Structure 1
Amino acid sequence: MSEPALLIDKTIKKYNYIFLSTGINVKAGEKTKKDILRSRFVFIFNFIWMNGDVVGAFLWFFTGLAQHKGFTELTYVSPCITISCLGNLKAYYMIVHEKTVDSLLNILRKLEIDQQNRRGTPETEIITATEHNYVNRVMKVLNIFYIILIICFGLNPLMLVLINYLTTNKVELLLPLLIVYPFDPFDLRYYPWVYLKQFWSDIVVILGIFAADFVFYVFCTYLRMQFRLLGYYLQQAVPSDQKTMTLLEIEATKLKIVDLVKWHQQLISSVAILDTLYTKSTLFNFVSSSLLLCLTGFNVMAINDVAFVISFLCFLMTSLLQIYFLCSFGDLLMESSIQVGDAVYNSNWYLADPAVSKMSLLIQTRSQRPCKLTALNFADVNLMAFMKICSTAWSYFALLQTLYTAPTK
């Protein structure tokens, strides 16, 4: 009889299409050489394909500066360049740290197997089900927003071309992105292929961010699950009838506490591994999010075309959700590590053997220093950071709006 599939593997397998289409090699179960070669080919192909458009967008931006193009035109292309760089960086770090991702996945799989081998209770089942369901609900919400964003940015120009043709009887070709090409992209011989290329570049950027963030959410969720389970077992570790216990039962309690201490140490080291995996990309994510929110909000206010306003409004909502959930999962993980100390305090540590009490005190003392994720030690990944990002974006937006509306002399 086969063993039941692990929850973490079920979650990853559910969104395996993201990893297959981006070339990020995260897989539920063992990897083969064929999997590695296929993922590398897909990643390199997408990397070259997308960055050709990124270079063209940079050239358009600098050419626009030199030719004194309109302010709204320059701010139209800026969010696209920023999010493309973010997608590049996130996908790159997932490839560079692939072995780290695999090792952390294996640690979480082992911890889940250990939990399955313990005697489960209704409380532990509620903890595992709650965390598992939460991350899947978040992924469904983000999945919907990313699909809407791809449709809006990818198909909006075609809709505008059709509307213009029906109203004016003239064909005015448009593309999703403003990019410099060594040929005329609006030539009918090239236009369909250029359009498809830009459309796939949009998909690659968004799925690259989605894939990296998804792995982050999974790691945070299942580490939080382990912290909550640890807290539950710590609270139940010391029986209330210590005075009637035999020496053998007291020794068994000591061994149980020792195992829980080792479990806590393993979780602390796992959070440290997760921090090294994401700390650099998170710093760029924090910096770029302020810029993205500012420029996208400005485009929503400054552009008069309703279709483009809808596109940038979707862009704004998706960017907000992306950085919010990044900070939210980091905040939840940090909170769950602190709650381990509360669980020790609420246990019967005062009835236990002195050796058990000392070990409980060590856990409680260590849990007062939360396990947290950082943006290269410049900021902690929590909801306070989200508030600062929104505040900074608003300041930039107000300045940009003032410069745009200021009368020229």
Structure 2
Amino acid sequence: MSMFELIDSLKIQVVKKTTIWLQNLKLKIQNFGRVKTRVSPRFIQFSDFFWCDKYLSILGYSVIQESQVNENRQKNLCFVTMAVSVLYVALLMFSFVLSVLNLMDGDNLFIAIENIALSGAVFLLILEWYLLLHNGHEKFMKIMAKVDEHYPHNGIDQVEFNTEKYLKWLKIITRIHLVLTWSAHIQFPLMPFLHQIYGWMRSKDIAWEHVMAINLPFDTMHPLFYWPKILYEFWLLLYMGLIFIGNDMLYTTLTHLVTMELNNLAQIISEIDWDDEDEEGEKKAIDEIKKLSGIHQQLIEVTDELDDIYSPLLFINAFSCLLMLCTIAFLTVVSKISMISMIFLIIKNCELKSGGGHYFMIKYTISVVAIAWKFFIQCHFGNALTDASLKVSDGVYKSAWHKASSKYRKLALLFMMRAQKAQKITGWKFIDINMETFYWFIQTAHSYYSFLSGVYDS
């Protein structure tokens, strides 16, 4: 067989396999929603829930599908990764101690603070996996069924309650979160890689670097230590992205849907009306408010269940993000380099080092934004849920209670009194997850950053 015939044969095989792959992909897309799920396919499709559940499915923890191929294998792999992560945190703490003991060396300051920030991220990863995936998986399935029960599946109802507006906002948040989170995780291994390419272009010599800086009493560049560490850190960053995105989007989706249903409930109650002499209409109104009161009680239960699952995580997440934000902001500014200076360094072919003060601005600025954004969306959706729960009371007052009988007024009064108690997502009952907490979060991070900068300058 000649060379040309061999190339033609390979082309045919590639085209054939590509065609088969595309056909299978098209079939999967067409069959989407026909898989056996715990909730209705229309709910999954319209709420954009499949997007965040896809990340959890890779880890073996699908919330919407009843069965999943290789689910146990994926769960076991996730468990092993988390177990190794515990050892990795211990290694980071050991590196931190060594760096603190040698702070006279400038690079050790950066390594010590980076170890603290990274330890917070890995610890948060382990906690999210345990509380949400390993411990709260069955609870999520029950919550999904309750939320789906009162979701407006009818197309007319969806138009009436403007559900498209909620979906559009949820999609915007999801896409921004995807970009920021993956950017923050990908740039850690990408920066050393780009630096190595830059060094090779200048001197034809590759200087291998670590993705994460760790200070140890032996040669970390030895192949027996270097390659296992590099491969594990790549794997860890992948799992960080999957778990952080999956869990954050699970939280935002469920709280956003509960917010939407509370707003819909307030709208329905406010529209209850009948003619003054229509006794039959008043009876229907009484039956309607009893039914809506039951729905409101179920939504309160869903909110309480969400708070029970997320409360410990959100409390520790607030302080972990606070720790990471102030330390990484400190590293970014102490590096004494601006983005413009970085561009001039590249243009002038100056050497880009991975040590303190050279590409920290690029490496950590994205991380600062991603961490602040992570806590922002948690506070934003928690705040929206609280506001929506208070609107229910306003909706009861806007109904036609003033021309109703004493029976309707008593029911409306009880309903309104219960709705006046705001529903909240809390952090272990110590802090409310709302926008006021986010403002406190930013102010406190800035205070700690100023303290670190003052210590460094002195």
Contact 2:99 2:215 in 1 (8 A): no
Q: Any idea what SS the aligned residue of 1:6 has?
A: helix
Q: Which of 146, 166, 181 is the matching residue for 1:107? A: 146
Amino acid across the alignment from 2:187: C
Corresponding residue to 1:332 among 373, 381, 384: 384
Correspondence for 2:362 among 296, 300, 310: 310
Cα deviation, residue 74, structure 1: 1.1
Runs of 4+ in 1 over 6 A off after TM superposition: 180-183
Q: What count of residue pairs does the alignment treat as equivalent?
A: 397
Which deviates further from its counterpart, 131-140 or 328-337?
131-140
Change (3 A) 1:161 1:320: same
For residue 257 of structure 1, what is the amino acid of its counterpart?
A: I
| 2:124 match | 86
The question of whether the paired residues in 2 share the 8 Å contact of 1:88 and 1:208 is answered with no
Match of 1:208 among 224, 243, 262: 243
Supply the distance in 2 between the matched residues of 1:197 and 1:398 (Cα, whole angstroms).
34
1:377 corresponds, among 423, 426, 429, to: 429
1:26 aligns with 2:78: no
1:15 correspondence with 2:47 = no
- Structure 1, unpaired ranges of 5+: none
Shift of 1:339: 0.7
Aligned counterparts of 2:245 and 2:155: Cα–Cα separation in 1:
34
TM-score (norm 2): 0.81
**Cα deviation, residue 242, structure 1:** 3.0
Q: Secondary structure of 1:360's match?
A: helix
SS of match in other structure, 1:7? helix
Alpha-carbon distance in 2 for matches of 1:262, 1:152:
49
**Amino acid of the structure 2 residue aligned with 1:130:** K
1:77 aligns with 2:106: no
State the shift of 1:73 in Å: 2.2
State which drifts further: 46-55 or 223-232.
46-55
Question: Structure 1 residues 354, 39: closer, same or farther in 2, change over 3 A?
Answer: farther
Q: Deviations over 1:132-175 (max 9, x none)?
A: 22112101001011121122112111111222333344432211
Instruction: Choose the corresponding residue for 1:242, options 276, 282, 295.
Output: 276
Q: Deviations over 1:356-383 (max 9, x none)?
A: 1221122222222100011111110100
Q: Give distance in 2, aligned partners of 1:117 and 1:284.
A: 40
CA contact (8 A) 2:59 2:75 kept: no
TM superposition shift of 1:5: 2.2
The answer to whether the 8 Å contact 1:8/1:222 transfers is: no
How do 1:285-364 residues align onto structure 2 when only pairs under 5 Å count?
A: 285-304=317-336, 305-364=357-416
Q: Distance in 2 between matches of 1:182 and 1:62?
A: 11
1:18 touches 1:211 (CA, 8 Å); kept in 2?
yes
Structure 2 SS opposite 1:15: helix
Q: 1:400 corresponds to which residue?
A: 452
1:160-206 CA distance string (max 9 Å, x none):
12223333444322111124679754235664443222112122123
In structure 2, relative to structure 1, the CA distance for the partners of 1:181 and 1:121 (3 Å cut) is closer
Helix, strand or coil at the partner of 1:301: helix
Distance in structure 2 (CA, Å) of the matches to 1:54 and 1:206? 18
Shift of 1:71: 2.0
The AA in structure 2 aligned to 1:116 is H
Kept in 2: contact 1:145–1:318 (CA 8 A): yes
CA offsets 1:310-335 (integer angstroms, 9 cap, x no match): 11000000001001111000000000
Q: Quote how far apart the aligned CAs of 1:21 are.
A: 3.3
Q: CA RMSD for the aligned pairs?
A: 2.4
> Based on CA coordinates, which of the two structures has the bigger radius of gyration?
2
Q: Secondary structure at the match of 2:148?
A: helix
More displaced stretch, 289-298 vs 355-364: 355-364
CA distance in 2 between counterparts of 1:333 and 1:190 reads: 48
- Map Cα deviations across residues 43-95 of structure 1 (whole Å, 9 max, x no partner): 21321343343332222112222344532221122211111111111111012
Q: In 1, distance between residues paired with 2:229 and 2:125?
A: 21
CA distance in structure 2 between the aligned counterparts of 1:121 and 1:222, rounded to whole angstroms: 13
Cα 1:97–1:9 shift into 2, 3 Å: farther
Which structure 2 segments of 5+ residues have no match? Answer: 1-33, 337-356
Distance of aligned partners of 1:133 and 1:290 in 2 relative to their CA distance in 1, 3 Å threshold: same
Shift of 1:27: 2.7
- Decide which moves more: 59-68 or 332-341: 59-68
